[in-house]
Structure 1
Amino acid sequence: MLYILKWITISAVIGICIGSASALFLHSLDFVTNYRQSHLWIMAFLPIAGVFIGLLYHYYGKEANAGNNLLIDTIHKPEQRIPFRMAPLVYIGTVVTHLFGGSAGREGTAIQMAGAIADVFRKPFRLTSEESRILLVAATAAGFGSVFGTPLAGAIFGLEFFLIGRLRYNALLPALLSSVIADLATKAWQAHHTHYSISFVPEISAETLLYTIFAGVAFGLCAVFFSKGIHYVTALFKSKIKYPPFRPFVGGLIVIIAVWAMDTTDYIGLGIPVIVDSFDHQLVPYAFLLKIAFTIITLAAGFKGGEVTPLFFIGAALGNALSLFIPLPMGLLAGIGFVAVFAGATNTPIACSIMAIELFGGGCGVYAAIACVISYLISGHTGIYGKQMVGEPKFGRYTHERGQHIDEIKR
């Protein structure tokens, strides 16, 4: 009973703090996105904004530059600490990235802010190393659940994202409570989330099951392509440009030249309008490839933000394209692609399956779960979070990789 009361108290405190931070972040993103769309000339300064972000992290945030990987590493080694400065740094970096037209998301920022905020409470609550690990898992759940308005998915994401193939049930109650309370706090600050709808979901049958498996394979391959691509281009920027603050200048230059050449802003920022359109209107079949390119250049160069909302865009756009070949409803393919590419790139199939139900309703649950699990298996031991550890290998022939970080696995 004392254990439950203790974690109710801790979860309430960090949930309110993290939910409030997420609300501030979401309001800020709405403001800068609307401002950019009505003042498109501001995008010309994206390279200069990149230099600002690069200098900010080079001189004040070298430890925090690891981002989500620092949080994952600290969960594995809770004797480490997360510097509080990571919260304001990633907030400023992400808002500036979106203001000037970078292609990035929001999950990474929300999770990093959550981890930095929660770490402050280790000492006041006199937490042991194991309790500190639980605290950071709960903080991750709170950040994710509140920024997307999906508290159940947030709770499971916090349990899944740092250890592939295993869940730590001792963190389940804190993760669930923190995520729900953070979501309530975000809503109390009147921060709104985008609503999506799948207009028609057919009855499950052998035929639709087979089509869903085929789609899941495509989503998994896309997740691998994105994960390997972003790691490769990040390494390329580091090897070719030795001075870190200059990398986002070059990346920003590439992005604005591409936007100018294509004469569209569809593939910068969060891309929410295109995601919404993908459920009901046919996009160009290569839209997902363009979003992959814009996002990889933006984030690999050193701009800040998450990968997840771009992955939503990529998955929904790929599902939209697959509707030209796979006889399932466009909205359903876009919806399951939305979560399945994310599942493959982050190795979190259960959280993504639950997220589909929270966002689109229970009717698509079976389809989403199948696609997410197939994508997760197809992606193998790859992913966007290099410090994820293999807790339980996906396939028997990879048992020797148990306990390794995925950035240590070479094939």
Structure 2
Amino acid sequence: MSQTSATLHRALHAPAGLKRTGKWLFLFILIGVIAGGGSILFHTLCDYGMRYFMDGMAGYRPVGPAGEHALLAPSNTPFNRWVLLILPALGGIVSGWLVYTFAPEAEGHGTDGAIDAYHNKGGIIRGRVPFIKTIASTITLTTGGSGGREGPIAQIGAGFGSFLATRLKLSAHERRIMLAAGVGAGVGSIFRAPLAGALFAAEVLYSDADFESDVLIPAGISSVVAYCLFCLVFGWGALFKAPDFQFTNPLELGPYALLALVLVAGGYVYTKVFYSVHGTFKKFKAVPNHIKPAIGGLLTGMIGFYLPETLAFGYGIVQKGILEQAPLTLLLGVALGKIFTTAFTIGSGGSGGVFGPSIVIGGALGGAVGKIFQMFAPDLIPHTGPFVIVGMAGFFTSVSSTPVSTIIFVSEMTNSYHLLLPSLLVCFLCHQLSTRFSIYSEQVPNKFASPAHAGEVHVDILQAYRVKDLDNRIRWVATVPEDMDFGSFKELYSKTNQHYFPVVNDEGKLTGIFSINDFRSILFESAIVHLILLKDIAMTDIITVRPSEDLNSVMNKFTQRNIDSLPVVREDDPSVLMGMLGRREVIDFYNTRLKEVRPELARSLGTTTSQYVNPVKAPEGVKGDSEPLGE
């Protein structure tokens, strides 16, 4: 371990209190610095790539958002549609070779990779993935591929958070938090939306309206640091320039509600086209994987030949729409064309994010709907720019199930907070109407359905109930005297169906217990059966449970000796037996409660408590314990 890593390791494992808080703060700031630096690097590479590929080779100079300024002066290259046709294919060849040679998991949109690592891989991301993702995405996007910047930058931040946690030998839970903090920092900085970045990192993990609360504060700290670092280099301010739109007429909510329906329909088409293209390319087994992005790039270029605005980032169209400078036909063309260019670019294995294209598609659809309403009701809809802003939020909500963070995202990106009311209406309508599809295939419904929280599901429910809540499941069993010889017991055993036999003294007090496994070795030793007393084979170190104990504690006791049933004793006197409680009865009670509280979770988890089940098998012909107590 290097000197720096050793220092961080000692810092992290310092005694609890102010010191520990400060050291965690240091780690989250460090993640923010690295993510902010990654955002600066990626943004710079994209700017240079656009200048030398799209501008220098094809003569295409797309308009960008008002909050971004080119680092290099434009070239004098004349516009050439034929170069624009083949340029995305050339970028696809190079990026495909990079990805499938060095890091196949970097293909597609990177946010899904981070989500998958969080839920299923203990927060582990290979160290090379962020670097390959950065280079491959730069090539893909700056040669005309349709995609966004959030996927690559999310993996840069997530990859460093995962790497740092691994070097410090942190737990899987801590590594997942640091991964998510990196996601929030990267996304929040490159889109100049630090609060939204933190919320996005906590919300995008789940398809239901759920948040990963442990992530919010770490991601918030890292996001603020990364955002400040990014803006120190590229300037402060929002990504888009928007007039001071005001919401003053409640009647506008009618058109906004209809806009939500259009956005949900568009989101459905977007996800279906995206995953249909993705599935089709996966089926092409005869075509090498690294060639597929080139094919997708060629299909993208064919659309871009006629509609160049659908290539690369496309944020300029959103800016024009906000300022009401884009015609209706262009908005509709970009909305439809961007769906297909994004599907061809990323669905074929190209590298890029899906947030950026979603913003463009949603803004174009919103602007188009606004213009249509303005034609028929100009007094009600005096401006169409607000429909562009609300459309961005609603469309991404419909395809990502992130209503809260998306509302804040769009507000921060446009510096427009006066449209929160229509945004709330549209986003929550879109979320409710789009629960059956998502662009993020690795999302899980909620925390309870995440493998990262699997153990917490048992504990939360089992700790809420006590042994006394299972009174009708506690079974009475016959006790045996400790001075009974084994020969007499054999005759009793042949007439009972018990598995466990509590042993009592002359006063009826519990002194031991044994199971059928404890006497199996002497069952057929007829010569000594009358010499062996039951107290000789009984275990006196008895594991018992009391009526006030929670069921999680009971399940832990079952696993101590891999036993299937425990004696329930009186609260004030552990020598008084009340009955036996079986492991299966506890599991059955748990499953019943689970179906009542979370029916969809019970279906998804199935045998959730199977980790506890390792039953003792009875001899052939021996049935279960006797009837429940009191019946």
When normalised by structure 1's length, the TM-score is 0.90
Q: 1:259 to 1:79 in 2, by over 3 A?
A: closer
Counterpart among 36, 40, 50 of residue 92 in structure 2: 50
Q: Match for residue 176 of structure 2?
A: 133
Give the drift of 1:78.
4.9
CA distance in 1 between partners of 2:37 and 2:427 (Å) = 31
Counterpart among 172, 176, 180 of residue 220 in structure 2: 176
Preserved contact between residue 389 and residue 403 of structure 1 (Cα < 8 Å):
no
Q: Match for residue 359 of structure 2?
A: 312
SS in structure 2 at match of 1:227: helix
CA distance in 1 between partners of 2:158 and 2:223 (Å) = 13
CA distance in 1 between partners of 2:337 and 2:107 (Å) = 26
Give the drift of 1:255.
2.0
Q: Match for residue 404 of structure 2?
A: 350
Q: 1:404 to 1:366 in 2, by over 3 A?
A: farther
Q: Match for residue 348 of structure 2?
A: 301
Q: Match for residue 409 of structure 1?
A: none
CA distances 1:349-404 after superposition (whole Å, capped 9, x unpaired):
000111232223211111112211111121113111111000189xx9x9536896
Q: Which amino acid aligns with 1:115?
A: A
Which structure is larger by alpha-carbon Rg, 1 or 2? 2
SS in structure 2 at match of 1:337: helix
Preserved contact between residue 166 and residue 175 of structure 2 (Cα < 8 Å):
no
Q: Match for residue 40 of structure 2?
A: 23
CA distance in 2 between partners of 1:117 and 1:191 (Å) = 25
Preserved contact between residue 251 and residue 298 of structure 1 (Cα < 8 Å):
yes
Give the drift of 1:182.
0.8
For residues 3-402 of structure 1, the aligned pairs below 5 Å read 4-35=21-52, 36-40=54-58, 43=84, 44-65=86-107, 67-79=110-122, 81-164=124-207, 165-190=209-234, 194-205=239-250, 207-242=251-286, 243-260=288-305, 262=306, 264-279=307-322, 280-281=324-325, 282-284=327-329, 285-327=332-374, 328=381, 329-360=383-414, 361-391=416-446, 400=600
CA distance in 1 between partners of 2:602 and 2:297 (Å) = 39
CA distance in 1 between partners of 2:140 and 2:389 (Å) = 27
Preserved contact between residue 356 and residue 368 of structure 1 (Cα < 8 Å):
no
Preserved contact between residue 47 and residue 250 of structure 1 (Cα < 8 Å):
yes
CA distance in 2 between partners of 1:229 and 1:152 (Å) = 31
Preserved contact between residue 111 and residue 353 of structure 2 (Cα < 8 Å):
no
Give the drift of 1:65.
3.3
Give the drift of 1:171.
2.0
SS in structure 2 at match of 1:72: helix
CA distances 1:254-292 after superposition (whole Å, capped 9, x unpaired):
2223333x1x42110101221111111234133211111
SS in structure 2 at match of 1:323: helix
CA distance in 2 between partners of 1:388 and 1:182 (Å) = 25
Larger CA deviation: 89-98 vs 274-283: 274-283
CA distance in 1 between partners of 2:136 and 2:604 (Å) = 31
Preserved contact between residue 161 and residue 175 of structure 2 (Cα < 8 Å):
no
CA distance in 2 between partners of 1:147 and 1:403 (Å) = 40
Larger CA deviation: 73-82 vs 233-242: 73-82
Q: Which amino acid aligns with 2:283?
A: S
SS in structure 1 at match of 2:358: helix
- The runs of 5 or more residues in structure 2 that have no matched partner are 1-16, 59-79, 375-380, 449-595, 606-631
- The runs of 5 or more residues in structure 1 that have no matched partner are 406-411
Preserved contact between residue 345 and residue 382 of structure 1 (Cα < 8 Å):
yes
When normalised by structure 2's length, the TM-score is 0.60
Q: Which amino acid aligns with 2:427?
A: C
Q: Which amino acid aligns with 2:256?
A: T
Q: Which amino acid aligns with 1:288?
A: A
SS in structure 2 at match of 1:89: helix
Q: Match for residue 488 of structure 2?
A: none
CA distance in 2 between partners of 1:59 and 1:72 (Å) = 23
The two structures, once aligned, show a CA RMSD in angstroms of 2.4
Larger CA deviation: 320-329 vs 284-293: 320-329
Count matched residues: 399
CA distance in 2 between partners of 1:392 and 1:50 (Å) = 37
Q: Which amino acid aligns with 2:361?
A: I
Larger CA deviation: 69-78 vs 88-97: 69-78
SS in structure 2 at match of 1:158: helix
Give the drift of 1:190.
2.4
Give the drift of 1:235.
0.3
CA distances 1:187-239 after superposition (whole Å, capped 9, x unpaired):
1232676323045323141x222222221222122122211221111001111
CA distance in 2 between partners of 1:162 and 1:331 (Å) = 31
What percent of counterpart residues are identical?
A: 24
Larger CA deviation: 243-252 vs 344-353: 243-252
SS in structure 2 at match of 1:121: helix
CA distance in 2 between partners of 1:330 and 1:372 (Å) = 18
SS in structure 2 at match of 1:325: helix
